[in-house]
Structure 1
Amino acid sequence: MSLVTYHTENRIATITLNRPDKRNALNAAVVRALREAFARAEADEQAKVIVLAANGKAFCAGADLEYLQQLQQNNFEENLADSRELMLLMQEIYTLEKVVIAQIEGDAIAGGCGLATVADLSYAVPDAKFGYTEVRIGFVPALVSVFLVRKTGEGRARELLLTGRLIIAEQAAACGLINAVVPAEDIRAFVAGIATQLCNETSANSLKITKQLVRTALDHSLTEALEAAARLNAETRQHPDCKKGISAFLDKSKPVW
């Protein structure tokens, strides 16, 4: 059985965690399979948008318990190499040129909550619970903290990471961790609708550049950020997508993306 499945239809690549019996918990093999799937989606010319979903009752319960036991036997260098694999997965999802939408139909805990954090857009069913529970087992939410502070701000991040408490989907939306709560019976159609809208109504180049702008906005001083933005504006005006979009706007027609 594949730990992660991959399917492309209507320009939407769906990557699905497929360990329902283990609540889609993460181990080295799952992380490796996810990295391979996202690399495939990024290179897939038939895919414009990526959806991350999961089979079973949980979206992702964090690290596999057997995996955690194994890690206790590792030395520092082995644990560092393993940690870097998860780091690369999160970094790759965060920096992909294509939009990543998390379709969360169950609990997203610890590393699983990290996957929801690094996605560009995240939508969850009302019963889903979220939390970074690492401090409760003597661990630290080191990797996810880098992304969570950017997403929710320092105050919210401190509360979630230091308490390790679980919150319901409505609370996750209120603090900016996810974008919206969607009824369970509607979420698949809702996410498909968002993905289809992005495919049909937006430029792939504009999505890529806009993701870059958001991702790097806090990396520079205000002056540097504005200069970089001005350069991106100038570059984008020369791109075929921009020329096509402006031409269609002036002609009062709809561009085909």
Structure 2
Amino acid sequence: MTFDYITYEVEQRIAAITLNRPDKRNALNGAMVAELQQAFQQAGADDAVKVIVLKGAGEAFCAGADLEYLQQLQRNTFDENLEDSQALMRLMQQIYYHDKIVIAQVQGHAIAGGCGLVTLCDLSYAVPEARMGYTEVKIGFIPALVSVFLVRKTGEGRARELLLTGKLISAEKAQEYGLINEVVPAANIADYVNKVATALCEEAAANSLTMTKKLIGMVLDKPLDEALEHAARLNAATREHAECKKGIQAFLNKEKLVW
């Protein structure tokens, strides 16, 4: 599949989805959102893909919404804007609930919608120079969709601080807040993310990664007793999976296992 605003490559079971508008600092528009949906769907359907890395071309990760895109939104009707918002909502759901692990490689600034993409990923690594934040309130907009996910990731207090002030924070502060996992020097970040992705491919069973991701997303949606009951059922179902039987057998036999 050919894309205009992103690139998609698969190597060693790792799918690299790259925002590819470096001259626009990888700013989002409707077409890019649609292409991202297609790429994540393609990665999900490909048995040769186990981990997805989301990154940007050039100096920025993603600067948020494209200026021309914002101008168009002002001319839209309510129904047109609702349809557009729902398309972005579906992309966010797609990333958050994706069966495969999604890693953000943040090699530059991630602002507004760009920071929203980082928020959705399972693991995120950023360079020290990256500035991150949700600046929507500063232009009379609201960080509506991302707020649902940010509260889950950082807690209500941090989410209020970031969303209400619209301030940009350093990568170090983003790590402190739990928005990203680690700060990695720019010269090393590509290799570092590749090592993390490769380790997931080789050291963890695909079904175990998928089920664990589902468990993490589920526990916040259900009352405690209901969550525990659901977790017990997933536990029992996983024990019957071929990968679980293979892994336990290798452990009992003290055999080295590469997934």
Q: Report the counterpart of residue 137 of structure 1 in structure 2.
A: 139
* 1:148-199 CA-partner distances (Å, limit 9, x unpaired): 0000000000000000000010000000000000000000000000000000
Q: Which amino acid aligns with 1:41?
A: A
- Counterpart-to-counterpart distance in 1, 2:174 and 2:148: 18
Shift of 1:255: 2.1
- Counterpart-to-counterpart distance in 2, 1:221 and 1:59: 37
What secondary structure does 1:72 align onto?
Answer: helix
- Counterpart-to-counterpart distance in 1, 2:222 and 2:16: 34
- Counterpart-to-counterpart distance in 2, 1:44 and 1:4: 18
* Alignment pair present for 1:112 and 2:114: yes
- 5 Å-filtered alignment, 1:192-203, equals 192-203=194-205
* 1:220-250 CA-partner distances (Å, limit 9, x unpaired): 1110000001111111111111100100000
Q: Report the counterpart of residue 64 of structure 1 in structure 2.
A: 66
Q: Report the counterpart of residue 38 of structure 1 in structure 2.
A: 40
- Counterpart-to-counterpart distance in 2, 1:225 and 1:255: 31
Q: Report the counterpart of residue 254 of structure 1 in structure 2.
A: 256
What secondary structure does 2:39 align onto?
Answer: helix
- Counterpart-to-counterpart distance in 2, 1:43 and 1:128: 32
- When the two structures are superposed, what TM-score results if normalisation uses the length of structure 2? 0.98
- Counterpart-to-counterpart distance in 1, 2:240 and 2:49: 24
- Counterpart-to-counterpart distance in 1, 2:144 and 2:124: 21
- Counterpart-to-counterpart distance in 2, 1:115 and 1:125: 16
- When the two structures are superposed, what TM-score results if normalisation uses the length of structure 1? 0.99
Q: Report the counterpart of residue 186 of structure 2 in structure 1.
A: 184
- Counterpart-to-counterpart distance in 1, 2:199 and 2:41: 23
- Counterpart-to-counterpart distance in 2, 1:114 and 1:34: 14
* Alignment pair present for 1:77 and 2:79: yes
- 5 Å-filtered alignment, 1:133-172, equals 133-172=135-174
What secondary structure does 2:61 align onto?
Answer: strand
* Alignment pair present for 1:232 and 2:234: yes
Shift of 1:46: 1.2
Query: Root-mean-square deviation (CA), in Å?
Result: 0.7
- Counterpart-to-counterpart distance in 2, 1:6 and 1:165: 32
* Alignment pair present for 1:97 and 2:99: yes
What secondary structure does 1:210 align onto?
Answer: helix
- Counterpart-to-counterpart distance in 2, 1:48 and 1:220: 28
- Counterpart-to-counterpart distance in 2, 1:174 and 1:74: 39
* 1:96-152 CA-partner distances (Å, limit 9, x unpaired): 000000000000000000000000000000000000000000000000000000000
- Counterpart-to-counterpart distance in 1, 2:178 and 2:4: 32
- Counterpart-to-counterpart distance in 1, 2:76 and 2:188: 44
Q: Report the counterpart of residue 20 of structure 1 in structure 2.
A: 22
What secondary structure does 1:60 align onto?
Answer: coil
- Counterpart-to-counterpart distance in 1, 2:5 and 2:69: 15
- Counterpart-to-counterpart distance in 2, 1:157 and 1:164: 10
